[in-house]
């Protein structure tokens, strides 16, 4: 896939690309792209991979013929290192027809395309559009290209033979322009016609916008999708009903293969956290001796062969019955944290220099006055820790219960977790708030009505940027993406399953809803689509543990 710069934010159906014109304000350099061209100008692509030929060592693509040392169809040389001269032959024609025309059986000359390329509407999404299949050749009339689920429109750049006219799905484009084509999910057929006064040639391009991928587990009651976590090309799915975690590897665009499974005790897979190195798995139903439902968290690291090997099983330093440790877990580097479901406690752990996880001296927290960690949720990133307390007991001036997010920090691994010495140590809101929290760098996301995005300032305070949506379900945030799940919850008045996705250009900037959002609830996932969510790059993973008999995860790749 090559890159072209075009007029940003255009609302027309076509745009300028540099197929057969000067590159910006001057000739292109060694790569074919003019760094001096201002944004909005037509800029020649750095190479013509998929566009008809390779540019010469120091020149730009020319409209007179295919640039480069050799024509892609094996035609005559078109110059040693620059644009093809006016007398160069582009190959693929005949002595009776002009350059880039083909003689028909009736003796007339029909025009051919000189180049064809499919590009994402957003330049930063370049890797979401695959290469043409097969590679472009002027005499070949049918092509296919695959795109990510997240590509809702593409630009199609097509240049015809000299003196011809090109239309893309009925939209006329001039040389150096591209037509904007909106995409539906699945197959999109685009008709490209290059015509002269006497003849025309029809090309057909099929753009396959990837459908959601359904992963499932063939065990009734497995609750597959109860928890999900992702990093890089690895997806981890918790199935506590089957007491296991299933790992999937992305082996190609849109292809996810079952890599391995990890089994454990009762409740294993209820909660998951994975930072790309360490996997934390909550097993809140795990017994200890004769006591039931004490709970534990299990910590794993991935070996070079891809298998996960358990580092340690971590339990409470003073175990007692019905604590349900591991209801919520978090991990970041050498730090881990877990909450209990039936007791006012937060447990934190650090992996020491010997590789052993030890409970921190500051662990066994109870909530500060006015708060309670029962059914609390936890998030970790570096030396910051956030604990959601949706069962808060403090009443505000109106007498309404206020839920809270408590914030902790520390200078280094092994130091006690403490409220920040300056700035904000507690965020509160009335009503539904803090049933799910997510933390990445300086960004904290808290579910509720509405979902709130907090950005940490240099003075330790947090700026509140509410999102235009409500959620009582899970939230997850990455550097550039925010996913909000709202599974059906009739008890709290949530009558439909929705998942909304927001994106931003860089950390600290404002989130905007993705054009593909909200994600469509999938058939069979009723009362559970969005129960868990994860994100990695552009990919989004949605758990639906009540889908079918054993649950499912939907991958939007």
What's the rounded mean pLDDT across residues 221-242?
98
> Which one, of 50, 79, 49, 74, lies nearest residue 64 by Cα?
79
CB within 8 Å of 341: residues ≥ 6 apart: 284, 295, 323, 324, 327, 374, 375
* Cβ(416)–Cβ(362) below 8 Å: yes
CA dihedral 225, 227, 233, 234 (to 10 degrees): -100
Query: What percent of the residues of the chain are helix, what percent strand, and what percent coil, each to the nearest 5?
Result: 0, 45, 55
Which pLDDT band holds residue 322 (cuts at 50, 70, 90)? low
In tens, the pLDDT along 477-494 reads: 999 999 999 886 544 555
DSSP-derived letter for residue 376 is -
Lowest mean pLDDT among 156-160, 163-167, 447-451: 447-451
What was the pLDDT predicted at 32? 36
pLDDT, residue 14, reads 57
How are strands ordered across the β-sheet holding 384-389?
Answer: 377-381, 384-389, 402-409, 426-430
Cα(186)–Cα(200) distance, integer angstroms: 29
Q: What does the pLDDT read at residue 58? A: 35
CA distance 463 to 500: 22
Q: What is the mean pLDDT of the chain?
A: 80
- Beta strands of 320-458 (E only): which ranges? 328-332, 335-339, 346-351, 357-359, 377-381, 384-389, 402-409, 426-430, 433-440, 443-448, 452-456
Tokens (6 digits) for 86: 């006016």
Residues 168-213 have pLDDT tens digits of 999 999 988 999 999 999 999 999 999 999 999 999 999 999 999 9
Give 510: exposed, middle or buried? Use CB within 10 Å, 0-12, 13-18, 19+: exposed
Task: Give the C-alpha distances (Å, rounded to integers) separating 80 from 33, 34, 75, 137, 400.
Answer: 19, 20, 14, 22, 79
User: How many CB atoms within 10 Å of residue 109?
Assistant: 19
Residue bearing the bigger pLDDT, 224 or 287: 224
CA distances from 406 to 84, 312, 431, 461, 472 (A): 67, 28, 17, 13, 18
Q: Is the pLDDT of residue 223 over 80?
A: yes
How long is the chain?
A: 557
What is the pLDDT, as a whole number, of residue 522? 66
Q: Is the pLDDT of residue 317 over 60?
A: no
- pLDDT tier at 416, thresholds 50, 70, 90: confident
Q: For residue range 445-471, list pLDDT tens digits in order.
A: 999 989 999 999 999 999 999 999 888
Range from 40-44, 229-233, 372-376 carrying the lowest mean pLDDT: 40-44
Contact 328, 270 (CB under 8 A): no
pLDDT, residue 331, reads 97
The torsion angles phi and psi of 123, rounded to 5 degrees, stand at -55, -30
pLDDT band at 138 (very low <50, low <70, confident <90, very high): very high
Peptide bond into 139 cis (omega under 30): no
pLDDT at 129 over 70: yes
Q: Are 406 and 368 in contact (CB under 8 A)?
A: yes
pLDDT on residue 131: 95
Contact 169, 160 (CB under 8 A): no
Listed residue (433, 428, 368, 371) closest to 396, CA to CA: 428
Q: List strand residue ranges (DSSP E) for 161-286, in order.
A: 165-168, 171-173, 177-182, 186-195, 200-209, 213-216, 227-231, 234-239, 244-252, 255-263, 271-274, 278-283
Asked if the model's pLDDT at residue 25 lies above 60, the reply is no
The ranges assigned to domains in the chain are 14-209, 213-556
Higher pLDDT, 62 or 481: 481
**Predicted local distance difference test score (pLDDT) of residue 137:** 96
Query: What is the per-residue pLDDT for 18?
Result: 46
The SS3 of residue 347 is strand
CA separation, residue 252 to residues 147, 154, 233, 255 (Å): 13, 21, 9, 5
**Position 369 confidence tier, pLDDT thresholds 50, 70, 90:** low
> Is the predicted pLDDT of residue 410 greater than 80, yes or no?
yes
Domain 213-556 falls under CATH 2.40.50.140: no
pLDDT of residue 142: 98
Higher-confidence position of 312 and 555: 555
């Amino acid at each position: 896939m090559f890159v072209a710069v075009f007029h940003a934010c255009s609302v027309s159906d076509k745009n300028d690309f540099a197929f057969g014109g000067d590159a910006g304000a001057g000739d292109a350099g060694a790569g074919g792209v003019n760094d001096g061209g201002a944004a909005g100008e037509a800029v020649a692509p750095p190479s013509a991979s998929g566009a008809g030929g390779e540019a010469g060592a120091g020149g730009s693509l020319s409209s007179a013929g295919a640039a480069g040392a050799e024509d892609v169809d094996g035609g005559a040389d078109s110059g040693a290192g620059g644009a093809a001269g006016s007398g160069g032959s582009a190959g693929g024609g005949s002595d009776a027809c002009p350059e880039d025309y083909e003689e028909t059986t009736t003796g007339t000359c029909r025009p051919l395309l000189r180049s064809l390329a499919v590009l994402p509407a957003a330049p930063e999404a370049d890797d979401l559009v695959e290469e043409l299949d097969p590679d472009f050749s002027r005499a070949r009339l049918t092509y296919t290209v695959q795109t990510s689920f997240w590509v809702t429109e593409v630009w199609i750049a097509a240049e015809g033979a000299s003196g011809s006219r090109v239309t893309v799905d009925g939209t006329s484009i001039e040389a150096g322009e591209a037509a904007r084509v909106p995409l539906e999910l699945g197959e999109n057929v685009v008709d490209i016609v290059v015509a002269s006064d006497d003849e025309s040639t029809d090309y057909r391009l099929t753009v396959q916008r990837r459908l959601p991928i359904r992963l499932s587990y063939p065990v009734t009651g497995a609750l597959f999708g109860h928890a999900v976590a992702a990093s890089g090309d690895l997806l981890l799915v918790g199935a506590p009903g089957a007491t296991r975690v299933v790992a999937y590897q992305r082996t190609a665009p849109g292809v996810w293969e079952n890599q391995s499974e990890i089994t454990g005790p009762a409740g294993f897979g209820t909660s998951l956290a994975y930072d790309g190195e360490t996997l934390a798995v909550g097993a809140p139903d795990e017994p200890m001796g004769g006591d039931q439902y004490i709970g534990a968290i299990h910590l794993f690291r991935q070996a070079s062969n891809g298998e996960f090997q358990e580092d340690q099983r971590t339990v409470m330093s003073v175990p007692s019955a019905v604590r349900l440790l591991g209801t919520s877990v978090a991990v970041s580097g050498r730090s881990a944290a877990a909450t209990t479901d039936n007791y006012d406690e937060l447990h934190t752990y650090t992996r020491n220099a010997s590789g052993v996880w030890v409970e921190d001296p500051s662990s066994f927290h109870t909530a500060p006055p006015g708060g309670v960690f029962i059914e609390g949720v936890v998030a970790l990133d570096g030396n910051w820790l956030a604990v959601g307390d949706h069962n808060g007991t403090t009443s505000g001036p109106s007498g309404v219960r206020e839920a809270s997010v408590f914030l902790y920090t520390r200078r280094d691994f092994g130091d006690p977790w403490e409220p920040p010495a300056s700035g904000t140590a507690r965020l509160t809101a009335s009503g539904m708030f803090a049933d799910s929290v997510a933390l990445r760098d300086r960004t904290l996301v808290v579910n509720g009505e509405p979902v709130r995005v907090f950005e940490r300032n240099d003075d330790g305070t947090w700026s509140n940027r509410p999102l235009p949506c409500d959620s009582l379900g899970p939230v997850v945030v990455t550097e550039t993406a925010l996913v909000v799940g709202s599974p059906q919850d009739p008890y709290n008045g949530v009558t439909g399953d929705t998942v909304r996705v927001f994106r931003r250009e860089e950390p600290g900037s404002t989130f905007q809803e993705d054009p593909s959002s909200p994600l469509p609830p999938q058939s069979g996932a009723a009362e559970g689509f969005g129960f868990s969510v994860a994100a990695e790059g552009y990919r989004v993973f949605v758990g639906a543990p009540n889908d079918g008999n054993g649950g499912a995860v939907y991958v939007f790749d």
